[in-house]
Amino acid sequence: MIVVLSVTGDVLLARAMKQVGDVGALWRRQGLPLVASRVLRNPYFFLGLLAMSLAFFSLLFGLSWGDVSLVAPASASLSFVANAVAAKFFLHERVDRRRWLAALFVGAGVLLLAA
């Protein structure tokens, strides 16, 4: 549940920001207020934010019945792998072997580091 919500949030935010475009370039061309209003007017941005806050609260909930040293690292490391899958199917990113390996290695590494 935590993983699903946080991945949903990440994917929606990523989609929102790809629609907005390169923030640095936009900032130079149009100034900060316009960039900010453009981000804030994007519906995906708010859906992503909502999903991320739900993920945060479900993490708090998970921590209240589970062991901190298990729940937090397990959900963090699963998110890396699940994000790679979701980015491939929903964002159509080209997830090549290099990126699969990266997601798996980082996921395993985070688990080892935090456990």
103 binds other proteins (CB under 8 A): yes
Q: Taking a C-beta distance cutoff of 8 angstroms, is the pair 83, 103 a contact?
A: yes
Q: Residue from 5, 51, 55, 110 that binds other proteins (CB under 8 A)?
A: 110
17 makes contact with other proteins (CB under 8 A)? yes
Contact in structure between 14 and 87 (CB atoms under 8 Å): yes
Q: Does the footprint of other proteins cover residue 74 (CB under 8 A)?
A: no
The reply to whether 93 sits near other proteins by the rule CB under 8 A is: yes
Residue 105 exposed, middle or buried by CB count within 10 Å (0-12, 13-18, 19+): exposed
Length of the chain: 115
Task: List the one residue from 1, 18, 40, 69 that touches other proteins (CB under 8 A).
Answer: 18
Q: How far apart are CA 53 and CA 109, in angstroms?
A: 25
* Member of 21, 32, 37, 53 binding other proteins (CB under 8 A): 21
User: How far is residue 44's CA from residue 52's CA, in Å, rounded to a whole number?
Assistant: 12
Residues that bind other proteins (CB under 8 A): 10-11, 13-15, 17-26, 29-30, 38-39, 41-42, 80, 83-84, 87-88, 91-96, 98-99, 101-106, 108-115
